[in-house]
Structure 1
Amino acid sequence: MTEVTDIQSDSPTANRSMLLKWSWRELWHGQLWPVAVALTLIIACVFALAALVVRVEKIMVDQGRSMIAADLVFRSANPVEQPTLDKAEQLGLVVSQQIRFGTMTFSDEAMQLVSVKSVESDFPLRGELELKSPSGIHHQVQPGELWLAERLFDLLKVEPGDVLAIGDAELKVSGTIVQEPELSFNPFSQMPAVLIHADDLDSTGAIQPGSRVQYRAYFTGADSQLKALQEQVELEPGQRWLSETSQGRTGDVIEKARQYLSLTLILVILMATATLVLTCMHYASTRTEVVAMMKSLGASKKWLWQWLARQLGMLFGLALVAGVAIGALLEYLLRVPLVDVLPDPLPGIGFTPLVVSVLVALLVAIPGMGIPLLKLVDAPAISVIQRMDSWQTSNKGYLLALLPLAAGLLWLGSNGLMWLTLLGLAAILVILAVVGVAIVRGLKRGRWGAAITLALSRINRSPMATGAQLAALTSSLMLLTVIWLLRSDLLADWQQTLPADAPNVFALNISPEQQRAYLDMLDQQQVMRSEGYPVIRGRITHINEEDLLERSQQGDRQERDESLRRELNLTWRDSIPVHNEVVAGEWQATNGVSVESGIAERLGIALGDTLAFNVNSQPFSAEVTSIREVEWRNMRPNFYFIFTPDVMAKLPATWLVSFRIEADQQAVINQLGRDYPTVTLLDLRTMATRIQGIMQQVSLSLSVLAGLGVVSGLLLVMTLLRLSLAQRRDEIRLYRTLGASRKRVSATVWGEYGIMALLAGVMAAAGAEAVVAALVKWGFELPVSWHPTMWLVVPLLSLLLVVLIIRSMINSLLQPVRG
């Protein structure tokens, strides 16, 4: 009992100094450096990812809120009640009101149906309003001003300074609306915009009993204040809250991007956790003899914990400093590809990334390091002279695993997407581990060369160890594959949502006499267009002779659907549009109607049902012959109900066509407006450009995040392989000492890890396909697609990593033990 006994009998100061020096030496010259590297990687990856997530989410939220001109919007069919405004002011929110309505405006030479927006001087609360007059650029509407959408100047034949009549008021045209933050996504309800000040609204006299008017209140403030306002206001029929996540295309993109950001962060943490646990287990196994020796020399558990605590404290401090520094640098490098689409200045990241990275590291490290170290401290002193693979130890250490579990429950809460992912991963990993062990056992029965036979024998020696190793390698490969495949599926969906050649102009109210000539003019100008669609406004009134209005009055939940409170756009065709997909039934030539799947589900419409409609007091009916999937976000003409021609062709209708105008075809729009003054042109180019800009920004951000997740996964896989080979070092050196040739041992190592890599790669591809299919279908609500190339790429990637790691370590592994 020499050194340890002496150390324990020294003064506390000398004892602490000795422990500190020993701990420092153990950290750098022992086996703790792989743990330090793993912990540094965790902190760096989580910090970089969290920082980028914070920035990207702030940017996306800001962009989304700019699209609605506020942080939150209250929309109502009736004037916004004063108690609602009072509650907002009590909560410290900034409030602005708007009233919008459709009316005719008259110049000396023409008239036009327009959408008038009566705004206050502080509008918009978010985003940018750009108004151009002969005197310059303006950003707010002042009393007495009248601002017109650009195409109204041609339609009304006016210039700035001319006078227009809106109702009873005559207002002088101030200039052009160059850009406004809020834009409508519904081509059927969009009219050219006119902006006036709220003080001039009463003078127009345009709002009369029975007028179709929409009232809006805009709010900005802290998220907690906005949430409190929503909770205090009880919505009535005709009222709705609008936020950045409820605005059609952009809302859907932002919400799915948020889900992906959170999911990527979770998956990176999972990969880091698996690596740290295995690294710590490796460290504990290598220090068993050292601990046993110290125990044999009289070291107590308390002294051992002091020895380990100092090492771990220094380790965590070094990993924290290095991890945050590397993470900050990594986050900066990740922003380089986004420099053209990120705003200037960038939103700050605050302390969230630092707090998240530290908490994640602690929650992962406490059980990941604590459980194997508790077992290590219980190592018996006899292990010095007799190697023991297991010994009796307390199971209380496993209670440490409750810490990250409790944190996960608190963090994830009721997030169904996350729980679906985690449960699916757990189930698939267990299945794949069992399948992997079974495959290896099956391979052993075959006839192979000596090296492969020896490799299979080595793998089959410990089924539990093999299963754990395969599960670790497979999980890392599978998680990085999931990150990349989800990113690919999301981007593919968004590209279909608004492709580069999407229509950006709609022409409505084309008379039957004008329809052929109008389409011919578009073709002569080589304008990309859709087919022409006849359009009639009507209501659905009965399903199988059951009155929908009566059911609605009885309070049936289904009948409160918005589609029943307004007239719908109905059309007829000889066939289903090519951009619609029939999911049930089939198109028939006569007495049929094809129904969009969403409204069919909401109203309980099934194949064979008879639907009754009313158009201008003219009733008619048709049988449901097919159900269609419709992508409402692609800016093409889409309809809830499409009839066969015999049902509706005799009813009076106007025609609709959508087309794409390129930057050099502005003259075509002007010519169409002059030649067909009664046709309503809905120019959506500004809206489409803004949406595509947001989607480009989000897409690039998600690609960078996916790249970070994949890189962190690759680093973790390489760490796992290095640890696994390091564990084999003593065994391989023993083979060399006993006379095994370098060639035989080398072939065995290559065979063993080649088999493991191929198995892990194939199982990772299979598992990733299953997880992504479940997430896409039930989490992101997208169509499921398969990725056959991944079944080749992932195994090849796994083999490549094995080749890199083995080649870097093979020489040191093959050195015999020297006496």
Structure 2
Amino acid sequence: MPASFLQIIRRDIRSSELLALLVALTLSVAALSSVSFLADRMQRAFQFDARQLLAADLLLVSDQPLPERFIQEVKARQLNSAQTIVFPSMATVGTQSKLASLKAVSSTYPLRGSLEVLPSQANLTPPSGSVWVDPAMLNALQAKVGDQMLLGDKTFLIGGILQQELDRGAGFMNFAPRVMMSLDDLQSTGLIGLGSRVTYRLLLAGSDQAIVDYEKWAERWIESEGLRGLRIETLENAQPVMRKTLERAERFLSLVALLTAMVAAVAIALSARRYVLKQADVCAVMKCLGASQKTILVNQIKVLGALCLSAAVMGAAIAYGVQEVLIRILGNLVFTNLPALSLWPLAWSVLFSSSLLIGFAGPPLFSLVMISPVRLIRKELGALNIKVLWVALLGLITCLTLIAIAAQDLKLAFWVAASFGLAVTLFALLSWCVLRILNFLFSKWGSKSFALRFAFTAQARRSGFAVMQITALGIALMALLLILLLRQDLLATWQGNIPVDAPNRFMINIQEDQKQNIAQSLIDAGVSTPSFSPMVRARLIEVNGKAVGPNDYVEENARRLVDREFNLSYTEQLPDGNRITAGKWIEGNAPQVSLEVGIAKTLKLKLGDQTTFELAGEKVTAPITSLRKLDWSSMKVNFFVVMPPAMLAGMPQSWITSYYQSPAIEGLDYRLAQSYPNLTIVDVATSLRQIQDVLDRLSSVLGLLFAFTIVAAILVLVAAIAATQDERFRSAALLKAVGASRHLLRKIALAELAIIGILAGALAGLAAGAAAWALGRFVLEIEFHAFAQSLAMGIGFGLLACLLAGFRFQRRIQTATAMECLREI
């Protein structure tokens, strides 16, 4: 029996249908498992290296100096501690200046893990008078180890290059390169002043129980004292921003992989049906020779088992290679040292391949058991009893289950499933209606082209097959177009919204007595007259007379917004690029607030709500009188909260401005940093280039998974064309028998393929355009108008794909005789 089974497998694998089934299944496993492998390694990196990601067991983070009470309690409990202070500042070497993320650390830092510095240092932290810097900083400043770096009022020796700093977070969370110095040297720089964006951290380490006890004490103290802007980070919520960003990237990659898997599932269903039709006669012969249903069922189970195991092994192998490539592409956007692979993604691959195979290919294959021997003599009963409703139901349940498991996000799973199901339903319904209408029009008014009339008649007569082909191809093309539009058109639209002469410098921490001289310096350097905007630091503490805090919100973004300080501003004129969407702009000196619509939505604020801000120990209360839409693409200074001058003019404040600095102007940043050490000058052009580098890397990752989608679409296309080959051979045999020429057969075939390609492409183009518009409008907040391009690309791709895929099949039909065509059926 084993020998005969191997012979059966060797024979069946030669069939293009079973081979297509194997390839489609392998592709599905590879697409989802590659993302699963990568996600698994990153998640376990959080678990394995959580303490190193904190550089401690517990972390207190604040935007104000930590109360001395917390440090006293640390000493009383005999915990190990360290302190860090992080803020942006200008760093200068020679005539080159660049914004740096300055980190001052105490001598005991880090408490967990270690820094990697070149050349190797005996010290755990930079010695006094020395700094360690990122390699990117050396490149930007054209500097080297041993050079002198100016930070504020003091000059430091560049003593080492930071190779690894695990507690910093993901590379794309801090675009400014790191400069690390001793905490003892910070005061001498004179860098921290009014308006400085400073983050204070207290790091703790000790026994697990001691850390838990301190955490509980700290939580009670923070709550009892009503301390705002102070949060606790533990092993469970280590690097929350990094974790959230990686989760978003994982969901996005999973979305692409899911689209690929769903497209491949269509190919699996089509290939399985085609394979069943081919095997029907074989099973009928076996029954004539005495084979029982059990024997046929066992054989089919073995075929399914062999397919499942092969697809799981090959898919897992491909996925392993792909995730290694993904890690190389992402580079320092993920952890430097990822843990080894676990067996869970491999188990997931087997589970996924089994579910897909059973859900989409199992029912058609198992229906072979029910084949009657009568099929051998009654070919007209070629339609198999495949239990269409059961197949559809089981396939849908399998789809939903796999989407939920793979996405690990119910919302994402719901939208993917709903979109997929809605697209299939609409494509099938619309294609059926269009075919009926076109057939009616051609039959009523006729056409001079016999080939065209015959093609429409044939499509209407085989409407079920035609609808299946158009729907399957449309789904595949929609996935392709959506990813293409996502990668190119939406990104191009975003880039196109940024004016060429948009401001590329932001200058913050400007003091009142410095404005006039700074303005003159910019004008003398050839920069247009700057416009200064006041900036007041404040915290939202009450809404409608009720105290608000992070615990009043569920969404993480809202919790962080209400926990941090806002930058408020005041003006009488509506700023450029601001548009009132609700209410009226500020009038007079009465208390009033103009709020940005995004912040209002996140914090669930509306017109008329009374807001109370605390600034410099005073409370300011005012109602929300207008909501504004900001033009972020203008790159000008924008504020979430704006009030009348009478409310804020007398408060402690700094100033901010933005301007365009031509590349031809050299050394201006350096001269300003030397003259005004307190200034922070942000080179947005450099940041945009760094952002673009991140986008390019993610685009490359997306492109790699996009290749999976292309292969899946090709499989769908070939399977859809092959699904009607028996009917095509039958029609060709009849036409050849009555004297049809090769030229006529070619014209009929081209007409049929063109109808399928145009309809599928048009549906895919419209659906992809609508999806891209919705994504741009509600997610990316940009306008998308490339509907015509999407429709044209869909029709072009559909027509080209059908003609190319059908070419091989039509050549066989045209070169075969009528008898040979009948034998192919």
TM-score range, shorter chain: 0.7 to 0.9
Rounded Cα–Cα distance in structure 1 between residues aligned with 2:668 and 2:8: 82
251, 262, 266: which is aligned to 2:258? 266
Matches within 5 A, 1:459-478: 459-478=459-478
Opposite residue 639 of structure 1, the aligned amino acid is F
Distance 1:29 1:663, change over 3 A: same
Q: CA deviation at 1:358?
A: 3.4
1:763-794 per-position Cα deviation (integer Å, ceiling 9, x unaligned): 1122223444556666x565563432212112
Q: Bigger CA drift: 585-594 or 296-305?
A: 585-594
Opposite residue 123 of structure 1, the aligned amino acid is P
Rounded Cα–Cα distance in structure 2 between residues aligned with 1:341 and 1:101: 21
Opposite residue 742 of structure 1, the aligned amino acid is R
Q: CA deviation at 1:505?
A: 5.2
Distance 1:524 1:482, change over 3 A: same
Opposite residue 428 of structure 1, the aligned amino acid is A
Matches within 5 A, 1:389-788: 389-390=382-383, 401=395, 405-412=400-407, 414-447=409-442, 448=447, 449-488=449-488, 503=504, 506-511=507-512, 513-526=513-526, 531-537=531-537, 546=544, 548=545, 551-552=547-548, 568-573=566-571, 575-578=573-576, 580-585=578-583, 587=585, 590-591=588-589, 593-601=593-601, 605-607=605-607, 624-629=624-629, 637-644=637-644, 654-658=654-658, 667-676=667-676, 679-681=678-680, 688=687, 692=691, 695-696=694-695, 698-739=697-738, 740-773=740-773, 782-783=781-782, 785-788=784-787
Rounded Cα–Cα distance in structure 1 between residues aligned with 2:665 and 2:266: 57
Kept in 2: contact 1:506–1:682 (CA 8 A): yes
Q: CA deviation at 1:474?
A: 1.4
Distance 1:715 1:518, change over 3 A: same
Rounded Cα–Cα distance in structure 2 between residues aligned with 1:696 and 1:737: 57
Aligned length: 747
Kept in 2: contact 1:482–1:772 (CA 8 A): yes
Distance 1:283 1:174, change over 3 A: closer
Opposite residue 738 of structure 1, the aligned amino acid is A
Q: CA deviation at 1:459?
A: 1.6
Q: CA deviation at 1:265?
A: 1.6
Q: Bigger CA drift: 698-707 or 416-425?
A: 698-707
1:48-75 per-position Cα deviation (integer Å, ceiling 9, x unaligned): 5655666899999999999976898553
Q: TM-score by structure 1 length?
A: 0.73
Q: CA deviation at 1:357?
A: 3.6
Which residue pairs with 1:119 in the alignment? 106
266, 280, 301: which is aligned to 2:272? 280
Q: CA deviation at 1:383?
A: 0.8
Distance 1:369 1:307, change over 3 A: same
Q: TM-score by structure 2 length?
A: 0.73
Q: 2:24 aligned with 1:25, yes or no?
A: no
Rounded Cα–Cα distance in structure 1 between residues aligned with 2:497 and 2:107: 34
Q: CA deviation at 1:304?
A: 1.7
Q: Bigger CA drift: 794-803 or 40-49?
A: 40-49
Opposite residue 255 of structure 2, the aligned amino acid is L
Rounded Cα–Cα distance in structure 1 between residues aligned with 2:639 and 2:436: 58
Distance 1:564 1:442, change over 3 A: closer
Distance 1:506 1:251, change over 3 A: farther
Rounded Cα–Cα distance in structure 2 between residues aligned with 1:329 and 1:315: 21
Kept in 2: contact 1:56–1:701 (CA 8 A): no
Alignment partner of 2:818: what SS? coil
Rounded Cα–Cα distance in structure 2 between residues aligned with 1:214 and 1:742: 81
Distance 1:289 1:536, change over 3 A: closer
Q: CA deviation at 1:271?
A: 1.2
Rounded Cα–Cα distance in structure 2 between residues aligned with 1:696 and 1:606: 35
Opposite residue 196 of structure 1, the aligned amino acid is L
Kept in 1: contact 2:487–2:699 (CA 8 A): no
Opposite residue 525 of structure 1, the aligned amino acid is A
Rounded Cα–Cα distance in structure 1 between residues aligned with 2:103 and 2:421: 56
Distance 1:525 1:479, change over 3 A: same
Q: CA deviation at 1:676?
A: 3.6
Distance 1:537 1:51, change over 3 A: closer
335, 347, 366: which is aligned to 2:358? 366
Q: CA deviation at 1:430?
A: 0.7
Kept in 2: contact 1:63–1:694 (CA 8 A): no
116, 121, 124: which is aligned to 1:140? 124
Matches within 5 A, 1:219-298: 237=223, 238-241=230-233, 246-247=240-241, 253-298=245-290
Q: 2:83 aligned with 1:98, yes or no?
A: yes
Q: CA deviation at 1:280?
A: 0.6
Distance 1:127 1:750, change over 3 A: farther
Opposite residue 733 of structure 2, the aligned amino acid is L
Opposite residue 817 of structure 1, the aligned amino acid is A
Q: Bigger CA drift: 748-757 or 479-488?
A: 479-488
Which residue pairs with 2:369 in the alignment? 377
Kept in 1: contact 2:532–2:655 (CA 8 A): yes
Alignment partner of 1:298: what SS? coil
Distance 1:82 1:27, change over 3 A: farther
Alignment partner of 1:445: what SS? helix
Alignment partner of 1:594: what SS? strand
Kept in 2: contact 1:125–1:218 (CA 8 A): no
1:623-649 per-position Cα deviation (integer Å, ceiling 9, x unaligned): 644312458899864423223557656
Q: Bigger CA drift: 569-578 or 312-321?
A: 312-321
Kept in 2: contact 1:477–1:717 (CA 8 A): no
Opposite residue 435 of structure 2, the aligned amino acid is V
Distance 1:45 1:728, change over 3 A: farther
Rounded Cα–Cα distance in structure 1 between residues aligned with 2:30 and 2:347: 12
Rounded Cα–Cα distance in structure 2 between residues aligned with 1:321 and 1:614: 61
Opposite residue 741 of structure 1, the aligned amino acid is S
1:550-577 per-position Cα deviation (integer Å, ceiling 9, x unaligned): 5459997699977677764322335444
Rounded Cα–Cα distance in structure 1 between residues aligned with 2:75 and 2:260: 44
Alignment partner of 2:183: what SS? strand
Q: CA deviation at 1:664?
A: 9.5
Q: CA deviation at 1:696?
A: 4.2
Distance 1:416 1:726, change over 3 A: same
Q: CA deviation at 1:379?
A: 1.0
Alignment partner of 2:784: what SS? coil
Opposite residue 124 of structure 2, the aligned amino acid is Q
Kept in 2: contact 1:129–1:139 (CA 8 A): no
